[in-house]
Amino acid sequence: MASEAVPERSGRAAEVAHGLRAYGLIVRMWIRSTLAYRTSFVLMALGNFAASALDFVAIVLMFSQIDALGGFTLPEVAFLYGTATLSLGLADLLLGSMDRLGSRVRDGTLDTLLLRPVPVFAQVAADRFALRRLGRIGQALLVLGWSVTRLDVDWTAGRVLLAVVTALSGAAIFAAVFTAGAAFQFWAQDAAEVQNSFTYGGTTMLQYPPTVFAKDLVRGVTFLVPLAFVNWLPALRLMGRPDPLGLPGWADFLGPAVAALMCAGAGLAWRHGLRAYRSTGS
Amino acid sequence: MTAGQLIEVDGLEKVFSVRRKAGRLRRVRHEVRAVDGITFQVPRGEMVGYIGPNGAGKSTTIKMLTGILVPSGGRLRIAGIDPARERTRLARRIGVVFGQRTTLWWDLPLKDSYELVRRMYRVPDAVYRTNLDRCTELLDLGPLLDVPVRQLSLGQRMRGDIAAALLHDPEVLYLDEPTIGLDVVSKAKVRSFLREVNAERGTTVLLTTHDLTDIEQLCRRVMVIDHGRLVYDGSLDGLRAAGEGERTLVVDLERELPPIQDVPGARVVKVEGPRQWLAFPAAQSAAPLVTAVAERYPLVDLSLREPEIEGVIARLYRPSAALGSPPTLSADPP
């Protein structure tokens, strides 16, 4: 009843198009304003790159003392690292501002978004679009590129496709976590850290081989918060490794389906949260 | 739909369920009726003041009229649109200014914010040009267009916000405390601009304020809300009469004298040295009173004060408070 004006199915599609257009408008405006201070932007992007790269430096240092981590070589860990970081980087670039929702609810600026003739989601997602987050993506691509040259994998068209689809569906899974986390903030305004533990924390976990973690933890990120589908399962298949849970082989290809389910769930949570906000005002 | 009524409100209600701590873990839910059955209409082109004490339900009403909040009950139509169901369609036809917070993008220069508004509302180029030029001229925005919103002073930001709310030619303009915290010059500028917009474009304006000068200078009609109910809806003069206002004659005598007593229809309310204050019913003429005082006392100077609208409103609020209404809880959601 309190939903947006969505007449029928065609209306839903029109709303999505409308939202994407609004997202594009706001993002373009932020990019323009970012590039007005070019030096500052370059420094920020480099900072983002460096902060992200330090994680990998830690891994490299570790390998100066050991030959394998949980049975995985450095290029293999680098592949896991690259795919997880790339997926997070993409989601962070597109929706990274969503964790500010709680503070917007608290200071009342969410109300001003409700006054504009475009979907609130697009406005929240595009708010303060930070191009500097390309730094993380660039760093992930470098590590990924290096690992691909070192890995003993026959890159057939099918494998390349699986890798690309994995990166994208992984980004979609993180996007769903960002969205669900933001939706949760309609009720708990200080809960930004909860989603951060799944996104940034989850990524740190996915950067390492699943074999170094306790089985129950791996089960948790497979069945509860299915982050394992971001990169672990498909990456293990690409590298010809068995997965520690012994799931059936087709599970490695479930990434896009898991991503779609999670996005649908996150979308529902968002709608529900916004509706609750509009009926209680806080 | 009644012909000519742009805003139609019928039995509008908003009930918040508030949880309060009672003891260490126990929480008690109770209902706060922030807006408790309000009915009014505003015809196209009118400027209406909407006033009331803090927590009376003003902001909650505005939030329902703009589609931010969904009403708990009653009927609401703006230009035939139900704000709760068609918020984004309504958004194109209304303009909103919150005195307490900006609707602009904090980090973007004013003109970038306007450009974004233009695209979001799909304002035709010609309309946008005309409106922006007009606002820039009347609100002195020229030197501010390149300044990021966060660097603007409160008065500048308010002018910027008002312009932003008008770029898409809204039929209704809601202003929630548009002059709060502004200096006298900025207030005057904002008021004269609003008058002009209303006269030129016939924009309907609904204005909440704590500064009753806003109302006196802009609105012929005023609505007073208290404890979620409309306690008055009519002209400003009528509001004075409804409050049974008294006018005050201030007389300066040659020297300190005991309170003036033998003047019919007036009573002394204050004495300060040679100066005395005489209150008399607002409806009564002051002329016979002045004559009577001048005949009997050594009068040096005098002045006449109209009833203070604040006092009138305070009197108006009092009866409802005496009727055992619930304790004043902030109706503005936390």
Write the pLDDT tens digit of every residue in B125-135. 999 999 999 99
Sign of CA dihedral A174, A178, A183, A187: positive
Are B83 and B178 members of one domain?
Answer: yes
Domain boundary pick from B216, B241, B266: B241
Q: How does pLDDT run across B55-73, given as a tens digit for each residue? A: 888 989 999 999 999 999 9
Between CA A230 and CA A235 the distance in angstroms is 9
CA distance A282 to chain B (A): 6
Query: Does residue A75 sit in helix, strand or coil?
Result: helix
Between CA B268 and CA B252 the distance in angstroms is 13
Sign of CA dihedral A121, A122, A123, A124: positive
- Domain contains B318: no
CA dihedral A238, A242, A247, A251 (to 10 degrees): 0
Residue A248, pLDDT score: 87
B80: CATH: 3.40.50.300
Number of domains in chain B: 2
CA distance B270 to chain A (A): 46
Domain boundary pick from B241, B276, B297: B241
Least CB–CB distance from B119: residue in A5, A25, A128? A25
Chain B CB contacts of A111 under 8 Å are 63, 68, 98, 101
Please check the confidence at residue B325 and state whether its pLDDT lies above 70. Answer: no
- Domain contains B182: yes
Are B84 and B199 members of one domain?
Answer: yes
Tokens of A237: 């298949």
Q: Give the nearest chain A residue to B89 (CA atoms).
A: A117
Q: B84 vs A280: CB contact, 8 Å cut-off?
A: no
Residue B226, pLDDT score: 85
Residue B276 φ/ψ, nearest 5 degrees: -130, 145
Are B224 and B205 members of one domain?
Answer: yes
Q: Find the mean pLDDT for residues B163-170.
A: 93
Are B212 and B273 members of one domain?
Answer: no
| Closest of A182, A277, A174, A153 to residue A229, by C-alpha | A174
Bridge-partner residues for B204, per DSSP? B172
- Domain contains B233: yes
* DSSP for residue A227: G
CA distance A128 to chain B (A): 9
Between CA B101 and CA B332 the distance in angstroms is 14
Please check the confidence at residue B186 and state whether its pLDDT lies above 90. Answer: no
CB B62 within 8 A of CB B94: no
Q: Find the mean pLDDT for residues A249-254.
A: 88
Q: Which three-class secondary structure string do you get for B284-323?
A: CCCHHHHHHHHHHCCEEEEEEECCCHHHHHHHHHHHHHHC
Residue B334, pLDDT score: 37
**CB-count burial class (<10 Å; 0-12, 13-18, 19+) for A152:** exposed
Are B252 and B232 members of one domain?
Answer: no
CB B149 within 8 A of CB B99: no
Sequence-separated (6 or more) residues with CB below 8 Å from residue A204: A55
Q: Find the mean pLDDT for residues A213-240.
A: 88
Least CB–CB distance from B70: residue in A29, A128, A278? A278
Please check the confidence at residue B80 and state whether its pLDDT lies above 50. Answer: yes
Q: Find the mean pLDDT for residues A133-142.
A: 93
Please check the confidence at residue B137 and state whether its pLDDT lies above 80. Answer: yes
Q: Find the mean pLDDT for residues B178-196.
A: 88
Q: Find the mean pLDDT for residues B144-148.
A: 91
Q: What value does the mean pLDDT of chain B take? A: 85
Are B55 and B17 members of one domain?
Answer: yes
Share of chain A above pLDDT 70, in %: 96
Are B179 and B233 members of one domain?
Answer: yes
- Domain contains B113: no
CB B200 within 8 A of CB B232: no
Q: Find the mean pLDDT for residues A7-35.
A: 84
CB B175 within 8 A of CB B194: yes
Least CB–CB distance from A29: residue in B102, B116, B121? B116
Q: Find the mean pLDDT for residues A164-178.
A: 94
Residue A74, pLDDT score: 94
- Domain contains B160: no
CB B223 within 8 A of CB B232: yes
Residue A60, pLDDT score: 92
Split at pLDDT 50, 70, 90, the class of A3 is very low
> What domain range includes position B9?
5-93+170-241
Where along chain A do its domains lie? 9-280
Please check the confidence at residue A99 and state whether its pLDDT lies above 90. Answer: no
Q: Find the mean pLDDT for residues A54-79.
A: 91
